[in-house]
Amino acid sequence: MGILRAEIYGNANIGAFTISTDKYSLVPHDAPEKVIHALENTLKVKAIKCTVGGSVLLGVLVAGNSKGLLLPHYTSDEELELLRSALGDVEIAFLPSKKTAIGNMVLVNDRAALVHPALEEKIVQVIRDTLDVEVEKGTIANSPLVGAVAVATNRGLAAHPMASEEELVFLRELFKVPVDVSTVNCGSPYLRIGIVANSHGAVVGSETTGPEMARLEVALGFVEVVT
């Protein structure tokens, strides 16, 4: 397990372009091979090259865990077929919503999901069925963009630095992992935009400081702190 700095297209917001679970990673179709190699070595899962709706902003547009993947409605037939072929038994579904920045609206690991509070119940049910997890609506640090201001794995969760103690307790109980606050890329509270992580490791944006990396290592369960 480890944590590595990287960038993509000269951009430190690596989480905007990539996602990872304990079963697969998704990366832009034209991602540099050295970036793909770094991701696969650190996260210990195969990286699948793809686009969604012709876009490389995979971390913004999709959300998933080891059991399922949620896609915006405008994903093309060719893109869907590629993902179905590559992901095998992973459940794939279109989210029936006009809101298409799914990665910003859904915070998920293999146990639970927290979603944008304005999502309709029929949409929440699709999320529940596809990802096969308990789903709750809520905010983090008063932000409905829960998938952007936190990052969750099966080992730990890092949240917006202004998250309240009540929110942190709620997140700990829902996701059933240790929870702490942090930032990424030299002070950004939009954690998921600057990091891609799973239970095996994490890749953070190139502007992330040493103290931030140390904090994230603890929050995501890569370092045990004895007190």
Q: Is residue 18 part of a domain?
A: yes
pLDDT at residue 225, as a whole number: 55
CA distance 165 to 58: 31
In a domain, 224, yes or no: no
Its pTM stands at 0.95
Does pLDDT of 53 surpass 90?
yes
Q: Which domain holds residue 7?
A: 2-219
Give a yes or no: residue 227 inside a domain.
no
* pLDDT reported for residue 130: 98
Side-chain half-sphere exposure of 127, counting CA atoms within 13 A: 29
Question: So what's the pLDDT on residue 1?
Answer: 63
Q: How confident is the model at residue 226 (pLDDT cuts 50, 70, 90)?
A: very low
Burial of 212 (0-12, 13-18, 19+ CB in 10 A): buried
Task: Name the token pair of 165.
Answer: 């103690």
Confidence of residue 126 (pLDDT cuts 50, 70, 90): very high
Count how many domains the chain has. 1
- Cα(18)–Cα(60) distance, integer angstroms: 8
Residue 60 token pair:
């913004």
CATH of the domain at 96: 3.75.10.10
Q: Is residue 152 part of a domain?
A: yes
Over the stretch 161-195, which tens digit does the pLDDT of each residue have? Answer: 999 999 999 999 999 999 999 999 999 999 999 99
CA distance 162 to 174: 19
Q: Where are the beta strands (DSSP E) in 74-226?
A: 91-94, 106-108, 112-115, 134-137, 150-152, 157-159, 179-181, 195-198, 201-205
Distance CA 17, CA 193 (A): 8
Residue 125 reports pLDDT greater than 90: yes
In a domain, 189, yes or no: yes
Residue 179 in domain: yes
CA distance 8 to 11: 5
pLDDT at residue 92, as a whole number = 98
Q: How far is CA 208 from CA 16, 188, 189, 205, 215, in A?
A: 15, 9, 12, 6, 11
